Amino acid sequence: MKKLCALLILFFSPSLLLAQNPNDLGGWYMYFGNFRWKDSPWAIHGEMQLRNFNTTSDLDQLLIRSGIQYNSKSGQTSFLAGYASITNGTAGDSDATLHENRLYQEAILRQKAGKIGLMHRYRYEQRWIENQDFRTRFRYALFLNVPLNSKELSEKGSIYFQIYDEIFINGERLTPAMQFFDRNRIYAGLGFRLQKGFAIQLGFMEQTTNSLSKGQLQVGIHHQLLSK
């Protein structure tokens, strides 16, 4: 644990110092759960994400997402389809919110390059945003996971480094100002596996759109349950 704390301080100090105004740094607090039946390829996915315009308050987005997942026997491929409910806040003193209903389908491909784990995620979304026209969006993310003190990420006590980049492409241009490029997210963080199916992760993500770029502090819990 001392090694993990030292790594976190070393890694995140430069990133946090770049946020000269504390209000420029957002905070994302996330739970990812996956319940899988023993000897079955099927699983239930669930997640909740609280996203703030700053690190402590001012609601940016509350996202609740669930789905049914199918996993191949090799474990290298997964398919997931589900629903998400999203409440979008307004920066500043306003309490105004905007709701979105979303369906999504995704495919995940996993690879190994020595100790490094690679994951490709392809996602297609159908979006119904309050008082707006129906729209779709394509997303592609590449994740790299690097164990720092173990051979496998799944080992208890494993400390690992993760980076990812995700690009979002709109399926339509509903207005002249709307571009096909929606946003890009690039992330780097450290994780610690307390148990085989339970890990915590702390990272920094930079989100860039056509109009702004904003840093986000991320705290995530990754939880996998296997029925007996």
Q: How far apart are the first and last CA of the chain?
A: 30
pLDDT value of position 23: 55
Residue 8 has pLDDT above 70, yes or no: no
Give the dihedral sign, CA 137/69/49/188.
Answer: negative
pLDDT value of position 24: 78
- pLDDT (average), residues 154-168: 94
φ, ψ for residue 23 (rounded to 5)?
Answer: -70, -15
pLDDT value of position 21: 54
Residue 222 has pLDDT above 50, yes or no: yes
pLDDT value of position 162: 96
pLDDT band at 39 (very low <50, low <70, confident <90, very high): confident
Residues 6+ apart with CB under 8 A from 57: none
Task: Please state, rounded to an integer, the average pLDDT across all residues of the chain.
Answer: 90
Residue written as token pair 């705290």: 219
pLDDT value of position 14: 46
Model confidence pLDDT, tens digit, residues 178-187: 899 999 999 9
Q: Domain total for the chain?
A: 1
pLDDT band at 93 (very low <50, low <70, confident <90, very high): confident
Residue 1 has pLDDT above 90, yes or no: no
Q: Which residue range(s) make up the domain with 152? A: 2-226
pLDDT value of position 175: 86
CATH code of 68's domain: 2.40.160.40
Model confidence pLDDT, tens digit, residues 9-34: 455 544 444 444 545 799 999 999 99
Kindly report each contact of residues 203-211 with a partner whose C-beta sits within 8 Å and lies 24 or more positions away, as own/partner. Answer: 203/162, 204/12, 204/15, 204/16, 205/28, 207/183, 208/183, 208/184, 209/182, 209/183, 210/179, 210/181
Model confidence pLDDT, tens digit, residues 106-154: 999 999 998 899 999 999 999 999 999 999 999 999 999 999 998 888 8
From the CB of residue 125, how many other CB atoms can be counted at a distance below 10 Å?
18
